[in-house]
Amino acid sequence: MFTVQAGDLPLFGTDEFGVLWGVSDVEGWGPTGSTASQTQRPRQSGAWSGAKLAKARAVTVTGGFTAPTPAAAQDALDRLGSAISRAEFPLTITETTSPRWGLFYQTGELIPVWVNSTQVDWSFQVASDDWRKFGTDLDADTTLPSTFGGLIIAPMSGGADPEYMTAEQANAAANTQGRRLTAAGGEDYYDVLTAAGQPATEQYLTASSPATGGLTVAFTVDATTVTGQVSLVNPGNEPGPVRLRIDGPCVGPVITHVSTGAQLVFSSSLVLNAGEWLEVDMEARTVLANGQSSRAGWITSRGWSQFDPGRNTWSFTAASFTPAARLTVTATPSWK
């Protein structure tokens, strides 16, 4: 059971005009053929073959609709004729639960067969120059690699137990606050002085008794680490398109496809200020500043990458660190 949508026109279910649509067959939606051809080896067994490349895709869709009135049937046929355009339009087909799409254009005629005044069977032929079927875009982003925060509290110097305070340590702490420690017997210390410098009340700190409350050291507060990497998984079986957006401020960005090692390196003379960005189409191999002006001349290493089947990771570095710089990777899953 196929569910088909041509551009913005769903060819399934009942539309807002009361027309019930359905598709009975789709031909050409499976993996395309190969351009390889064989030439028999003269006076030998076997053959030679040419380049084994995927052919373009041709699709025939057959279906029908039932309208509430003859006028509604004619309008529905007109809408179908407008959707099946000579200009490229997205054709989305769902075989199970995963919709896949491609950019198609009309090749053959739209053929209507009037069953009666309100029911029409139809078929049309379209083609795509791309052999792939595409899924829903995936995207993720990252800033440049960095580490924020983190704290390590070490034990007291001299090997002192951090939960205990010696008389000398207590004396030093008290003196910094204008207080004086006097011996109160044994190892008990701590007299609070009056303004005249005389003991007012006795409060004891026993050097051999553990302190209560506070913090126990040594301890570590974990830091937050940004890897500067983006990972996405292509569930398909063909390499898909990849598009990047690099937002400034950023100087001399470098994008590395980790699994292949392909590096797209920009000169350190390329400076993106705050509010400026680069749009990179890895498949078309174009680089546009703010979506307009080419910056291909600033590329010093042209390591273009694809969205290969399986997990893909791209790393983001630059000639200098700026915390607001950001890389966004948008990749399209692809199937034969």
Give pLDDT tens digits for 150-165.
555 555 555 444 444 4
Q: Can you tell me the distance from the alpha carbon of 125 to that of 51, in angstroms, rounded to the nearest whole number?
A: 28
Which residue is it, tokens 């008794």?
209
| Token duo for residue 105 | 């254009």
The reported pLDDT for the residue numbered 212 is 52
Per-residue pLDDT band for 297 (boundaries 50, 70, 90) equals very high
Q: Which of 10-19, 191-200, 213-222, 224-233 has the lowest mean pLDDT?
A: 191-200
Distances (CA, A) of 42 to 35, 37, 47, 52: 22, 16, 9, 21
Express each pLDDT in 224-245 by its tens digit.
Answer: 677 899 999 999 999 999 999 9
The least confident of 100-104, 181-185, 271-275, 291-295 is 181-185
Pseudo-torsion of CA 221, 222, 224, 230, nearest 10°?
A: -170
Task: Output the pLDDT for position 153.
Answer: 56
**Whole-angstrom distance, CA of residue 246 vs CA of residue 141:** 10
Cα(266)–Cα(271) distance, integer angstroms: 10
Pairing of β 119-128 and β 293-294: unpaired
What is the structure's pLDDT at 164? 42
Which percentage of the chain shows pLDDT scores above 70?
Answer: 77
Percent of the chain with pLDDT over 90: 70
User: Average of pLDDT values for 51-71?
Assistant: 95
Residue with more model confidence, 190 or 33:
33
C-beta of residue 79 within 8 angstroms of C-beta of residue 66: no
Mean pLDDT (whole number) for 199-212 = 45
Which of these ranges, 57-66, 216-225, 232-241, 269-278, has the smallest mean pLDDT? 216-225
**pLDDT score, position 227:** 84
Local structure of 267: helix, strand or coil? coil
pLDDT at 51: 85
Confidence check: pLDDT of 281 > 90: yes
How confident is the model at residue 97, as a pLDDT? 78
**What SS3 state is found at 21?**
strand
**Best CA proximity match to 302, nearest among 237, 243, 255:** 255
Domains of the chain: 3-31+55-131 (2.40.30), 138-146+226-335 (2.60.120.860), 155-217 (no CATH)
Confidence of residue 257 (pLDDT cuts 50, 70, 90): very high
User: So what's the pLDDT on residue 151?
Assistant: 54
Higher-pLDDT residue of 78 and 226 is 78
The whole-number pLDDT of residue 331 equals: 98
pLDDT for the residue numbered 9: 98
> Cβ(86)–Cβ(105) under 8 Å?
yes
Q: How far apart are the first and last CA of the chain?
A: 20
Q: Comparing 34-43, 80-89, 123-132, 301-310, which segment has the lowest mean pLDDT? A: 34-43
For residues 316 and 257, give the distance between their C-alpha atoms in angstroms, rounded to a whole number. Answer: 9
pLDDT at 193 over 80: no
